[in-house]
Amino acid sequence: MTTSKILHAGNVLLAGFGAMLIMMSVLVYLSVKQDIPMVNKNYYEQELKYQNKLDAMQNATAYKADFQVQRSNGIIELSIPAVLAQQLDEGTIHFYSPSSPERDRSFNLVKSKVQYAFTGQQVPPGMYRVKISISAGGQEYFHELKLP
């Protein structure tokens, strides 16, 4: 067989098509094996409740300056508004780690307590979003802070 028959346009086209199929198959295989973690497992249920969250965020804007978080010497100090602490029905502080759900931590709020302190054993070092949810006086409040 001569090289002119091997390099015939039809053969080259067929070889290129075969290479493309192999490459696409490899990409599909790799994409199926890729683990893409969701931010939340129950994403759809949270989406349905999002309007309630928007309302709670709007309610919290009046107290925005009173929500404070800081980190010093490995201790995280958090302050919530005194008015909300006095009327507290229930509430949570959620330390959300965007990089790893295993590092997320949640703590319940205590009525009349304005200052909270967390050690490195309670909340491992790293970057967190602090999500504060409060139910007080028949209203819902939600505020989110970035932990420096």
What pTM, to 2 d.p., does this model score?
A: 0.68
The encoded tokens of residue 91 equal 């509430």
CB atoms within 10 A of CB 96: 18
The residue-averaged pLDDT of 31-46 equals 76
The encoded tokens of residue 61 equal 């804007």
- Asked if residue 39 has pLDDT above 70, the reply is no
The SS3 assignment for 16 reads helix
What is the spatial distance between Cα 136 and Cα 6, in angstroms, rounded to a whole number? Answer: 80
The SS3 assignment for 71 reads strand
What is the spatial distance between Cα 98 and Cα 126, in angstroms, rounded to a whole number? Answer: 10
What is the spatial distance between Cα 107 and Cα 8, in angstroms, rounded to a whole number? Answer: 72
The encoded tokens of residue 5 equal 């028959």
46-146 falls under which CATH superfamily?
Immunoglobulins (2.60.40.10)
What is the spatial distance between Cα 117 and Cα 76, in angstroms, rounded to a whole number? Answer: 6
Residue whose entry in the numeric block shows the structure tokens 């295989």: 29
pLDDT at 56: 92
pLDDT in tens, 64-90: 889 999 998 889 999 999 999 999 999
CB 145 within 8 A of CB 133: no
The residue-averaged pLDDT of 120-138 equals 91
